[in-house]
Amino acid sequence: MDVIEGPLMEGMNYVGELFGAGKMFLPQVVKTARTMKKAVAILQPVIESEKTADVKSAGKVLLATVKGDVHDIGKNIVGVVMACNGYDIIDLGVMVPVEKIIQRAIEEKVDMIGLSGLITPSLEEMVHVASELEKAGFNIPLLNGGATTSKLHTALKIDPVYSSPVVYLKDASQNAGVASKLLNPELKDSFAEEIRSEYQSLREKGRPVQREIVSLDDARNNKLNLF
């Protein structure tokens, strides 16, 4: 676990920063993710051997790359990190329609849902998924992340359509810690309120400035006389 959460995640986060800054491109990100996947596969037997049969699950998490998106790099890394922290992972793969997300979430009785997206159209699909989860009566936390996602988009578009906690996560290393707070009876309410307050602040800052509209006649009367 120290190796995964230490040098491996630090390397992936650094690559993510370079990708976000336009200094590294998708093929290099994919290659890095494959390297991490192979490293985790080597460590997996050791991780499994350290687990005991009577260890209680930290929670059940459903992961999915939303409909229209075929990228699974980030989602897979999140799954590995959370599984290593004791969470049961239900991975639905890529291009997952909202109907399947809702159906499996009900069948598996999951504790939270994580959505991933790497392309711009995924942003609107995440809003759609959140809206449908609200209509279906879900009251579990919703996590979202991926190259195109952001805290501002989450605050402006996703949080308003889903009444339960919605949390944007910049990188995979944050997921386990955030999940533990959201599922802790003593911490979840205060943590959710902290997130809501932050989103409200972002919404207020992102709200367009209202400008007074001057009528055409007034504009003509106030014209600048240059001659």
Active site residue 122: yes
Active site residue 69: yes
Q: Among residues 69, 91, 111, 159, which one is catalytic? A: 69
Active site residue 153: no
Q: Among residues 72, 91, 111, 122, which one is catalytic? A: 122
3-class secondary structure per residue, the chain? CHHHHHHHHHHHHHHHHHHHCCCCCHHHHHHHHHHHHHHHHHHHHHHHHHCCCCCCCCEEEEEEEECCCCCCHHHHHHHHHHHHCCEEEEECCCCECHHHHHHHHHHHCCCEEEEECCCCHHHHHHHHHHHHHHHCCCCCCEEEECCCCCHHHHHHHHHHHCCCCEEECCCHHHHHHHHHHHHCCCCHHHHHHHHHHHHHHHHHHHCCCCCCCCCHHHHHHCCCCCC
Q: Among residues 71, 72, 91, 173, which one is catalytic? A: 71
Q: Give the residue numbers annotated as catalytic, written as ranges.
A: 69, 71, 122
